[in-house]
Amino acid sequence: MGNNHMQVAQGFRLLLGALAPYIALELSRAVGDKWWELAVVDILYDDQKRDLPYSGEWAELVDSLDIARCLLLFDLHWQQVFRKRLSVDHRTWAKELVGVRNKLAHLGGEDFSDDDTWRALDTMSRLCEQIDPESAEEIRVLLRTLRYGSAGGSSMVIVSGIDANLNSIRAPGRDLLSIQLPGRVNRNNTLITTPIQGLSSWRAVIEPHPDVAQGRYKNAEFAADLAQVARGEGAYEYRDPVEFFARTYVTEGMTGLLEQSLRRICGKDGEPVIQLKTAFGGGKTHSMLALYHMMRGRVSIDKIPNVKPVLQRADVTALPKANVAVLVGTALDPTKSKRPNNMPGITINTLWGEMAAQLAESSGNPKIYDYVKEADKKGVSPGSEVLKNLFDAAAPCLILMDEVVAYAKKIYGVNGLPAGTFDNFISFIQEVTEAARASKNSLVVASIPESEIEIGGEAGKIALETIEHTFGRMESIWKPVAANEGFEVVRRRLFLDCKNPDGRDAVCAKFSQMYNENQSDFPLEAREVEYRDRMVSCYPIHPEVFDRLYEDWATLERFQRTRGVLRLMAAVIHELWMGNDASLMIMPGSIPLDVPNVRDELTRHLSEGWNALVDREVDGKKSIPYQKDQSNPRYGGKLAARRVARTVMLGSAPTSRDQNVRGIEASRIRLGVVQPGENIANFNDALSTLTSVLAYLYTNPSGDRFWYDTRPTLRKTVEDRATQIAASDVEYEIETRLRTLRKEQPFAGLHICPSSSLDVPDDQTARLVVLRPTDEYKASNPRNIAMTAVTDILNNRGNTPRIYRNMLAFIAPDQDLMTSLKQAVRLYIAWKSIKDDSEDLNLDAAQNRETDNNLRRSNETLDVRIKEAYCWLLVPYIDKAADMKTIVWDTIRISGGNDSIIYKAAKKMLQNEQIITTWAPALLLMELDNVLWKDSDNISVKKLWEYLCTYCYLPRLANDTVLDKAIQTGLNSDQYFAFASGFDGTRYIDLKFNQYVGIVERSGFLVKVSVAQKQLADDDAKRQAEAAACAAAAGVSVPASTSGGESTMTYQPYTPGGTGTGYEVHEDPVPTQPAAPKNRRFFMSADLDTTRINRDVQKYVEEIIQHLTSVSGAKVKVSLEVEAETDEGFSQQTVRTISENCRTLRVRDSGFEE
C-alpha cells in the first residue's frame, strides 16, 4: 500500500484543528453556556456520543471532538447556526468529506489514488479557507507536496537525480513525471535524434509543469476567473497563492501595480484608483488575482519569494491583510436579488450592495453593510460620502472591479431591475472613485477592455465611453504585460525551473554561432549578443515563436495575447513531450499542426477554410509536405518539408490580403527551422519544392517572401482549369504550333498532321510528314498507332494505292513524352485563360505580373516539350538482301538541340544518306547494273526517275535535279554510260558518250557503255567507208577516223616518203552551248471555296507557292483579291467593321460601291 492515505489522514488532522474550535465557538454563540449539553450531547445518538465527557473545560471539550463528530455537528446545525456564517458550498464540502472519512476508516488493503487524494485535500482546504486560513494553507502544503513533491510548489522542486534510462526528474520521495523511454514512442511528427552530438535536447534540460507534460490541464484554466477564485473554485494553480506566484512572472508593469497597491493599502502615497487597460487576453484579470492573493494576508511572504522585491520597493516589511471585495460583471446577475446565508436579513440588489456585503464578510463586521442598506434596497447610488465612510470602516480595503463594461451592458436601456438603472450605475462608478480618493487607505482597481470583442455592441461602446470618462478624471492607467515580457509569463506558467543551465547556455551559444557563421541566411538581429540572451531567457522556446505570436497573431482581434499563447504552447509542449521530441529548442518548425488540439488553437482565430488547408498543405499524413518528406531521404529524417510548411503557416496565416507587404521572409523561415548541425541547403530545397507544388502557398515576385492563403494561388486555379481542358483542345494547340514549322531543304514538301493519307500528295518530290499528336510511337510496341498511320500513308493515298512511296519520311511523337507535352499544353492554355479573364478574376498587379511571367514560361516550355516529344524519324526502305516486297522502317531518335524538328530530321537523313542531294555516277551505274537494266541495254530517264521515286530498295533522291547532275557527270566520262535522245528499236538517236551534255531530257535514254561503243564504232566505220569511197574517186586515201565527236576532212598533198595521204580526218569536238533559259515566268489565278478558304489556301501554299519560293533567286508575289455582292446591300455595321479592319490591316485598296 502507498502512503496517500497518510496524506489524507494528515489533512483531516489539520482540518480538525480548525473545525473543532470553530464549531464550539459558533455553537456557544448560538446556544450559550450550555452549548455542550444542548447542542452536542443531547443531539448525538448514543453510539456517537460514546466516550464524550458530559462536561468539562473549554479546551477539554474541544479536544474530545473528532473529525467525524465535527462533520456531523456541522451538518446537524447547518440551518440554525452555520448557514448564517458560511455559504451553502461549505455544507456540500462537509458532506463530501464525511464519505472520505468513512473510506479512510475502512480502507483495507487498497490505498487512495492520487486523484482521490488530491480531491480530498482540496475539499478540506476549501472548507477550511473561511474558517481558519492558516490551517487551510497547511493543507495546501500537503496538496503541493502531492503534486510537485515540494511544499513550496513547482518553483521549489529539487532535482535529486536524472535517470539515464528514463530521462525523468525525481523529487524527494516521489516521481514527478512518468516519462516514456526515449526513442521508443514517436508520433512521426517530431525529431527522433538530436541534430548535433554534444548538445542536449530541450527535454533533458528543462521540464514542463506536470499538468502540461501529462496533458491534465484544461484550456479554461488559462483563463483566470477572479470570481471563481473569490468563491474558492477554479483551477488550483489560481486558487493557491503559493502556486499562483510560482507560475507568475512578475513583469515590470505588475511590479509597479503591486508596489502602488501596497503603498496605498499601507497608508503611504500610492494611487487610490488604478485602471487596467490592455488588449483582449492581455493579463488584466491575472494582475487582479495577484493583488487578491497578496492583499488577503493568507500566505507568508517567505513562500512567494518573487514578490519580495515588490515589498522592498514599496518600503513595506510584511504583506498587509486587507478586506477585499471582488466585483466581476460577468458573474453578477442584475435581474436577481441575493440573500447570503451567512448574512441573515440582508438582501443584496446592486453592485454597491454586493461590495458592502463582501467587505462586511471579509472584516467580520456585518454592520458595514448598513452604510448602503437603504441605497441598495432602492437601487440608488449611495453617494461618495457614504462610500468614503464605508471604506474607512473597512480599512484597509481593496475593491477589485473586473468586467464592469459587461455589467453595464446588461442594465443599459433596461428599467425596473433590482440592480438599479444604468445612470445610477454610472453614478456609482464616479462616486466610488471619489470615495477611494477621499478615504485613508482604500484602493479601487478596475479593468477596462480595449478590444472590440470585449466591448461588444452599442451598449458596450456607450458604457465604455462613460466609464472611461469617469475613471479618467482621477485614475492611474496601467497596462499589465509589455510585449517583450510575454515570453517570460508563458515560460514561467508552462515550465519548471531549468535543471541544467549549462546545457541551456551551450545550446544557445551554438545557435548564436550558427547565425554568425551563416549571416546571409538569417535575419540581421539573430547574430547579435542580445538575441543570444533572448534565447536564454525564452528557453526552451525559440524567440521566433514568440515574435510570430506576439507580432503577427496578436494583431488578430480574437487572439488573446497571453491566454492564447498559453493555450497554444501548452498543447504544443504536451505533444512534443509525449512524442519524445529531440530538438534542441522548440521552434516554429516544431509545432505539430497535425494534432487537432494544436491546430485548432491557431485556426480558431482565422476564417473558414484553414483546417482543410493545414491538412493538405502544411502537416499530417495526408499532407503534401509529409509526402515530400517520405519520398526524399534528405527531407524525411529531419521533417524538412513539414517544418518549413509549419514555419510559413505560423509566420503568415494572420496576415491579410490588404497588406502591401505580406508573408514571412525566407531568412525568417530558416530562422524558424534550422538547428545547429543541420544542412541549411536541405531546407532551402524543401522550401523551393513546396513553392512549386502547393496550391495555397504564395510567394512575392522577388521570391523572398512566402505566405498561405485560403484563396487558391493562380497556380491552383491553373491546375484546376488544366484538368478541365478537353483532349481535342490540347491536340488543336499542338497541331497549331506544328503548323508554324517551315520546311527545310532538301524536302520539297512538308505535311503537318494530315488527317488521312489523302492529305499527302503522291508525286515525285521528297516530302516529310509530321504525324498528329494522337499518332504516338512506342519503340517497345511494334503495333503502335504511329506505325499504323505511316503504313497507311505510305501504301495509300485515300482509296488509291500510292505510287511514289520512296519519296516519303515521317516524324512521330513519343508515346511516353506525350504525357508531359499534353500537360504543358494544358498549363499554357490555362495560363492563357487566366490572362484573358484577368478582369473577371480581379487580379492585382502582382498577380498580373505572375500571370505574364508564367504565360511566357509555359509558352517556352511548350515549345521545348514539342521538340522533345516529336523525336522519332521513321524512314521506310527495303532490304534487297532480304525480302524485296517487305517494307522495313528505320526508326531514328532525333531528340536534343534547339533546332526545329524539321531541320533535325533533314540533317539526320542527310548524314545517313537516307536522302541524297549529290549522287555519284558510279552509284547510279551500280543501281542500274544490279536491277534496273539487268535484262536491257538501256533505260529511259523518265522510267529511271519513276523507279527511284517508287521503289524503296533504291536510293531516295531529293529531287530530279540530283539525278540530272549524276547523269551529266557520268556522261562526261567513258566509265559509266552513254545518252541518247531516242531509240528506234535498232539504233540510238543522237548518241552521246564521254562528252558534256547540257540538258538531260526526260525522253532520253541511258545506254550501256558497251552498246554505245559498238554503235559509235559502227558509225565510225561507216563514215570511214564513205570517206574512202570519196577519196578513191578523187585519187586519195582516207585513214579511219576515231569514233565520237564530229570530224573534218582536210587535204594534205601526197609526198613520196612523207606522211601525208592527201585527205585526213581530224577530230574537232565542238562543245555544246547551253540553251537560252526557258519558263522564266509563272502566273496563276484560282477561285477559292469561301466555306473552306483556309484549307484551299493551305493547299495552294504547300503544293504551288512553296515550290516557287524554294527556287533560288525566284521573286514570288502573292496577292489576294476579294469581290462580294449582295442585292440587299451591306449593313452599316458590316461596312463600319470591314472598313475599320481594312485600315487596321493596311489593305492597299478597298471600298464599297453602289
pLDDT (tens digit per residue) in 88-140:
888 999 999 999 999 888 887 788 888 899 899 999 998 888 888 888 888 98
pLDDT, average across residues 35-42? 88
DSSP per position, 35-60:
HHIIIIITTS-TTTSTT--SS--HHH
User: Nearest CA to 496 among 205, 718, 773?
Assistant: 205
User: Nearest CA to 394 among 467, 321, 345?
Assistant: 321
pLDDT, average across residues 165-182? 36
Given a contact cutoff of 8 angstroms between Cβ atoms, the answer to whether 1041 and 1020 are in contact is yes
Q: Cell numbers for 172, please give them.
A: 524527494
pLDDT, average across residues 514-537? 94
Q: Cell numbers for 522, please give them.
A: 538569417
Over the stretch 399-425, which tens digit does the pLDDT of each residue have?
999 888 888 888 888 888 899 998 899
What value does the mean pLDDT of the chain take?
84
Given a contact cutoff of 8 angstroms between Cβ atoms, the answer to whether 28 and 73 are in contact is no
Three-state DSSP at 999 gives coil
pLDDT, average across residues 1011-1035? 86
CA distance 497 to 504: 12
Stated length of the chain:
1154
1050 confidence band (pLDDT: 50, 70, 90): very low
Residue 734 pLDDT > 60 = yes
φ, ψ of residue 527 to 5 degrees: the values are -85, -5
User: Nearest CA to 557 among 483, 482, 452, 449?
Assistant: 452
At 197 the pLDDT is 83
CA distance 107 to 301: 38
Residue 62 pLDDT > 70 = yes
1106 confidence band (pLDDT: 50, 70, 90): confident
Residue 539 pLDDT > 80 = yes
At 576 the pLDDT is 92
Residue 711 pLDDT > 60 = yes
Q: Say which residue, 474 or 902, is predicted with more confidence.
A: 902
CA distance 966 to 968: 6
Residue 535 pLDDT > 90 = yes
Residue 337 pLDDT > 50 = yes
Residue 621 pLDDT > 50 = yes
Residue 480 pLDDT > 80 = no
CA distance 560 to 281: 4
Share of the chain above pLDDT 90, in %: 40
Over the stretch 189-232, which tens digit does the pLDDT of each residue have?
677 777 788 899 999 999 998 878 887 766 545 667 888 888 88
Q: Say which residue, 881 or 825, is predicted with more confidence.
A: 825
Residue 1063 pLDDT > 80 = no
- What is the rounded end-to-end Cα distance, in angstroms, of the chain? 119
Q: Cell numbers for 330, please give them.
A: 460577468
CA distance 295 to 852: 68
At 1076 the pLDDT is 61
Residue 286 pLDDT > 70 = yes
Q: How many CA atoms lie within 13 A of 811 on its CB side?
A: 28
User: Nearest CA to 322 among 380, 280, 377, 362?
Assistant: 362
Q: How many CA atoms lie within 13 A of 583 on its CB side?
A: 29
User: In this structure, what DSSP letter does residue 988 have?
Assistant: E
Over the stretch 235-267, which tens digit does the pLDDT of each residue have?
778 888 888 888 888 887 788 889 889 989 988
At 1120 the pLDDT is 86
Residue 836 pLDDT > 50 = yes
**Lowest mean pLDDT, pick from 126-140, 533-547, 551-565, 937-951:** 551-565
- Residue at grid coordinates 479557507: 129
CA distance 945 to 320: 123
Cis upstream peptide for 746 (omega within 30°): yes
pLDDT, average across residues 1104-1108? 81
pLDDT, average across residues 871-877? 95
User: Nearest CA to 893 among 901, 881, 885?
Assistant: 901
At 328 the pLDDT is 92
1016-1043 burial: b if 16+ Cβ within 10 Å, else e: beeebeebbeebbeebeeeebebeebeb
CA distance 1144 to 1133: 16
pLDDT, average across residues 45-52? 81
Residue 510 pLDDT > 90 = yes
Q: Cell numbers for 76, please give them.
A: 446537524
| pTM score | 0.59
Best mean pLDDT range from 498-512, 876-890, 928-942: 498-512
Given a contact cutoff of 8 angstroms between Cβ atoms, the answer to whether 647 and 522 are in contact is no
User: Nearest CA to 55 among 70, 37, 81, 38?
Assistant: 37
